[in-house]
Structure 1
Amino acid sequence: MLSVITCIRHPATAKDFGRVNELLQKTINSLHNQTNKNFELFIVCNQGSEFNLNTYDIKTDMVYVDFPPTEHIVVVDEQSQQDKWNAFRKDKGTKCLAGLNAALKNKPEFIMFVDGDDYLHKGLVDYVDKNKENYDGFIIDKGFGYKLGSDIAYEIEPFNLSCGTCNIYRAELFYPYLEQAIYTNQQTILNSVDDFMTYEILGSHKHANELFQREHAKFQYIPFAAAMYIIDNGENDSGINQVTFKARTLNAVIIEDFALQTQPSLFFKRYYELLSYRFKAKIKKNKNSLLVRSLVNLKHRLH
């Protein structure tokens, strides 16, 4: 059994919580599209959050927490930027721990953390199920970026450095870090769980390999594009600069694999958008190159 945990932002920090609900529904649609149903879903959210969701036949548990909203920090320098990210990691990390506490009671074999605005490839659960005897974890380093309503998708590699929907862990890997965990409230979680687990593993998504190495666990990079990051959706906590990625036209295979509720546009419309993207990306790349060269020349003149 795979336990899928998704953590939803505090309503007070959302621009439009109705939009949050809509994006979460799309994530659930991609879970419903899985060819292998050997999974369950845990949705971690703040008390008072109101949803209107269709979870189909997916076994779903709502995990309610009473955590304060993420602190609002205005970024003015490098330190305030770090403070902002730490505030985000604290909120996400403690919510993931609350979801993990609920999931582990069902004794799952694997745990996956999914952002509530991303999609999964329809064959992902089946792939994990078929390879669970060989690995203690999986990392998604191939995936897509997609703007809803667009006719192109962006190939993101390494995907695990851009999107939080990327890590799958054998449940036993968490046990040593949770022996003293107290889940009464956010502060007791912070006090009783190692910061490495809260901030680096669960609050972030870029350090899964560090946990695997610590625990001498064998992991694999999923050999296909297994997740899709919905960009520019209005509720992203972080964004990617899609002009740095290779683009391709949206097709029926991608739409089916990720349960996108759309249809490919006419051939000429799709390729017009693709060519427009490539033109903008080339301009951006040339501007960046020019800026780098200018900075290098300035440095040489100063010395």
Structure 2
Amino acid sequence: MLVFVIPLKSRVASKSWETVSNLLERTLQSVCNQTSPDFQVIVVCHDRPNLQHNYPKVEFLDVNFTPPSRLTPSSGMADQERKLRIGADHASTIAPASHLMFVDADDCVSSNLAEFVKQHQHCHGWFLDQGYEYQDGNPRLKHRKQGFSKICGTSNIVRADLIHQYIEDLQLLETRFAEKRLFHTEIAKAMQARATPLSPLPFPGAVYITDNSENLENQSTLVLQQIRSQPVKLTKFYAMKLYKRLAAQPLTHALQQEFKLYSIAAIGSAQRITTDPRVQQ
């Protein structure tokens, strides 16, 4: 069984709790849209989000450590990875949890993941070499055919026993969590070094949601503030934006259904969330 572990930022660290809740709702719609029932979801949080639906497959795990009052990339990552470690520890009580996947609270995932894991339960795990990039409300999205795991935190599926041993070793070494993105880019490196390498997932496994106002990193407005006095970097920034626009493909109905991808901006004026038999109202 595949267990999705989702760390949620606190209310005090959020710009808009409504936006954070809506983003998580879309993520939950996505992870609960699996074609196989062999999955469970753990949301690790300080505060319970405001959701439109109940999710039988979702367990909310409350934490009581002091959250950062203002998120920076460093403090936000530390908070996130502490919650991931707590969620991974809790997943060990869920039987039979064969693999864990760490999911950012604003991303979407393929509906085929749980079925794929069910068919390959003895594999070490996978990293998502390919996936999609999407900005809310855009009718197009970019298919990143390689290197997806380097930019998106929703990018690793690892066998449960390997993750638990990894966490135990980190604790013995007294390694500071979040110092090296230990639950993101460091996982694949660690599994390779332990002779239990992850394989590339053979299909796009997730959608990386960008510029949603609650991202820790890669917000266009923040990047522009940092480089506005640097002409070379500004030129590269706008060139990359143009490239992404030209390389984007239409957001088809099939992709919307596979990833449960819909516009958060559309929620305010009317109920736009697709009802699913696996989601109880």
TM above 0.5, yes or no, is: yes
1:112 has 2:101 as partner: yes
Q: Is the 8 A contact 1:97 1:198 kept in 2?
A: no
Instruction: Describe the superposition over 1:201-254 as per-residue Cα deviations: whole angstroms up to 9, x where unpaired.
Output: 54x511222121232113210111110012111111112776254311221221
Partner of 1:223: 202
Q: Is the 8 A contact 2:4 2:100 kept in 1?
A: yes
Spell out the pairing of 1:1-303 with structure 2 (5 A cutoff). Answer: 1-46=1-46, 48-58=47-57, 60-70=58-68, 72=70, 84-107=72-95, 108-133=97-122, 135-156=123-144, 157-179=146-168, 194-195=174-175, 199-200=179-180, 202=182, 204-239=183-218, 243=241, 244-245=243-244, 246-261=247-262
Structure 1 alignment gaps of length 5 or more: 74-83, 182-190, 263-303
Q: Distance in 2 between matches of 1:252 and 1:180?
A: 44
Q: Residue 11 of structure 1 aligns to a residue in which SS?
A: coil
Letter in 2 for 1:51: N
The change in CA–CA distance for 1:253 and 1:178 in structure 2 (over 3 A counts) is closer
Q: Distance in 1 between matches of 2:85 and 2:115?
A: 25
Q: Distance in 1 between matches of 2:125 and 2:16?
A: 35
Q: Is the 8 A contact 1:42 1:61 kept in 2?
A: yes
Letter in 2 for 1:238: E
TM-score calculated relative to the size of structure 2 = 0.76
Letter in 2 for 1:255: Q
Q: Distance in 2 between matches of 1:99 and 1:43?
A: 8
Q: Residue 180 of structure 2 aligns to a residue in which SS?
A: helix
Q: Residue 191 of structure 2 aligns to a residue in which SS?
A: helix
Q: Distance in 2 between matches of 1:132 and 1:161?
A: 25
Structure 2 alignment gaps of length 5 or more: 221-239, 264-281
Q: Is the 8 A contact 1:27 1:117 kept in 2?
A: yes
Count of residue correspondences:
239
Q: Percent identity of the aligned residues?
A: 26
Q: Is the 8 A contact 1:93 1:199 kept in 2?
A: no
Q: Is the 8 A contact 2:12 2:69 kept in 1?
A: no
Partner of 2:267: none
Q: Residue 153 of structure 2 aligns to a residue in which SS?
A: coil
Q: Residue 154 of structure 1 aligns to a residue in which SS?
A: strand
How many Å apart are 1:129 and its aligned residue? 1.6
Q: Greater helix percent: which structure?
A: 1
Letter in 1 for 2:194: E
Q: Distance in 1 between matches of 2:28 and 2:19?
A: 14
Q: Distance in 2 between matches of 1:162 and 1:113?
A: 14
170-179 vs 22-31, which deviates more? 170-179
Instruction: Describe the superposition over 1:230-279 as per-residue Cα deviations: whole angstroms up to 9, x where unpaired.
Output: 211111111277625431122122112112237xxxxxxxxxxxxxxxxx
Q: Distance in 1 between matches of 2:137 and 2:3?
A: 30
The change in CA–CA distance for 1:31 and 1:136 in structure 2 (over 3 A counts) is same
Q: Distance in 2 between matches of 1:193 and 1:70?
A: 25
The change in CA–CA distance for 1:137 and 1:251 in structure 2 (over 3 A counts) is same
TM-score calculated relative to the size of structure 1 = 0.71
- 4+ aligned runs moved over 4 Å, structure 1: 177-181
Letter in 1 for 2:81: G
